[in-house]
A and B are shown apart, each in its own frame.
Chain A
């Protein structure tokens, strides 16, 4: 039904929103690129000047860079593994008709409603704290010396915190996928002689593959940007043991006040995130087709 006139009218009507969004996106991006090619340290603003790729070179060759990349990958993969596996198990569990199903489901989902800094602080002070924490009390109760989680295994502890936050999301998506599986398919598999484990492997898991893809893609995007949890628990330490790429950029910008190098780091992070995204789409994106 769209005529030439109505189409151009539609374009005219849409354009303010599109232009606004475009400006909203392009200005910060261009500014970041601009700063990334300049020497611009907020502590010595008078030494401002164009320096080509010097910021990039400095960022990539800094001793913390490769460690940060490894830490980022460990964090993302660790959280993905825990949330997907744990999410499937919890979804299977609460999909069954159990007593108090409603409250249980709400409880399972509740971590998602807690703000990241609050969650991180609760974990830091009430669970992981080696003197006052619940885990310390539990260790004492069975006669062991408390373990300093954030001091001894900082990255693993952060993975636990972040996984705890994202588990509800994975569970929710996987639960809805599970509920859309037709019971006749499972019954058919049962008649075909598949025991429960094989029914899960051959019927349930393939059915969940699309939901798992969605969980992995969405979580990866958010997990690459994890900052607050690190900031309020370990501050990237001890040393650089829990410094991720995001945290490195944060450190350059707001601890070293090197806006130029931080901008370069930001651009590097964006490029790496895109590489990861391309790999992910190649590897599992085909699940979303058809």
Chain B
């Protein structure tokens, strides 16, 4: 079981309010991702749940029991840190067994659980090595192993992939997702990378300056962002925002169009501009279109390889039903 409820939880450091009171319910077995720009308070929120920071206000319930005053060890949660925080002087085996040793389990049970975790994570051959002799991905797995053996109510991940190179990151992303499928344990995952959020989450919590901007499934956030911030944050490349008369005509103070919802043509379309930088990815091509008079730059995605080069004039056609309209205050209409 791992149902976590935050009720009016707030955090202040001195006079600075890092997290204004917020409510959030995380259901048992859910994979929840906290995403937001750096400094938005997502790590602080995770540390509040972990018990590494004291809440200034509000209550944290774990499985219905008030855990606000409990220490980190008593909450039954396990955490994977950004730096992995492995104990460098211990072997992989001792690292993974450490929480069990602290819990006072007998040696045979410790070994059994460590072997089990090592098998799940492909670490069996590395059990007697030191963390310093492992690669980044292996260290990451040791850190996860140390979390798994405790059989926690929920896993907390604090930007666990940000120290890995791009290829490894994609691999570990899959491994963590598969782990979640297998264990069905609640996972809370903090990242600033919206791709990680979109690919892994059952539920995304978008945070900005300590406030929750929107909570929903990845596709909900993609299809119906509640405000300008979420619209700009979710989706890659970013949505282009258009203001002024053209936006009024479409029925909002600001209108957002995703790059994939614009059609590009050399001759026809309502919006006209010049091509700036083009990014050819093979499967897709992204154009940065300037001088439209609507926005400083509009990003457009085209399928496959499109022969347009720097300085060419293009016409853009937005898909009418995929336009996002926002009012004066940046809220979705």
Given A185-B87, A203-B87, A207-B89, A192:B99 Cβ within 8 A: yes
A191 B50 Cβ-Cβ under 8 A: yes
Contact partner, A191, options B79, B82, B88, B132, Cβ 8 Å: B79
Contact bitstring A171-208, B, C-beta under 8 A = 1, else 0: 00000000000101101111111110010001100110
A255 within 8 A of B: no
Which 7 residue pairs across A and B have the least CB separation, nearest first?
A192-B99, A188-B85, A193-B73, A184-B85, A193-B102, A206-B89, A184-B81
**Nearest chain A CB to B317's CB is how many angstroms away?**
51
A191 B87 Cβ-Cβ under 8 A: no
CA distance A170 to B141 in the complex (A): 37
B79 A194 Cβ-Cβ under 8 A: no
B192 within 8 A of A: no
Looking at chain B's contact residues, the main secondary structure is loop
CA distance A162 to B120 in the complex (A): 56
**Nearest chain B CB to A287's CB is how many angstroms away?**
10
**Nearest chain B CB to A200's CB is how many angstroms away?**
13
Most chain A beta carbons < 10 A, residue from B77, B86, B87, B132: B87
B interface residues, how many (CB within 8 angstroms): 25
A202 B98 Cβ-Cβ under 8 A: yes
A binding-site residues for B, Cβ under 8 Å: 182, 184-185, 187-195, 198, 202-203, 206-207, 209, 290
CA distance A114 to B103 in the complex (A): 49
Which B71-106 residues have C-beta < 8 A from chain A? 71-73, 77-79, 81-83, 85-90, 98-99, 102-103
B132 A192 Cβ-Cβ under 8 A: no
**Nearest chain A CB to B155's CB is how many angstroms away?**
11
Most chain B beta carbons < 10 A, residue from A182, A193, A194: A193
B146 within 8 A of A: yes
**Residue of A whose beta carbon sits closest to that of B98:** A192
**Nearest chain B CB to A190's CB is how many angstroms away?**
5
Chain B residues in 8 Å Cβ range of A192: 73, 98-99, 102, 146, 150
Looking at chain A's contact residues, the main secondary structure is helix
**Residue of A whose beta carbon sits closest to that of B149:** A192
B72 A190 Cβ-Cβ under 8 A: yes
Contact partner, A184, options B78, B83, B98, B132, Cβ 8 Å: B83
30 A/B residue pairs, CB under 8 Å, sorted by A: A184-B85, A185-B85, A187-B85, A188-B79, A188-B85, A189-B98, A190-B52, A190-B72, A191-B51, A191-B52, A191-B73, A191-B78, A191-B79, A191-B99, A192-B73, A192-B98, A192-B99, A192-B102, A192-B146, A192-B150, A193-B73, A193-B99, A193-B103, A194-B73, A194-B98, A206-B87, A206-B89, A206-B90, A207-B89, A209-B89
Chain B residues in 8 Å Cβ range of A195: 73
Most chain B beta carbons < 10 A, residue from A184, A190, A192, A209: A192
A191 B89 Cβ-Cβ under 8 A: no
CA distance A263 to B192 in the complex (A): 71
Most chain B beta carbons < 10 A, residue from A182, A191, A195: A191
A198 B102 Cβ-Cβ under 8 A: yes
CA distance A111 to B269 in the complex (A): 82
Chain A residues in 8 Å Cβ range of B150: 192
**Nearest chain A CB to B41's CB is how many angstroms away?**
18
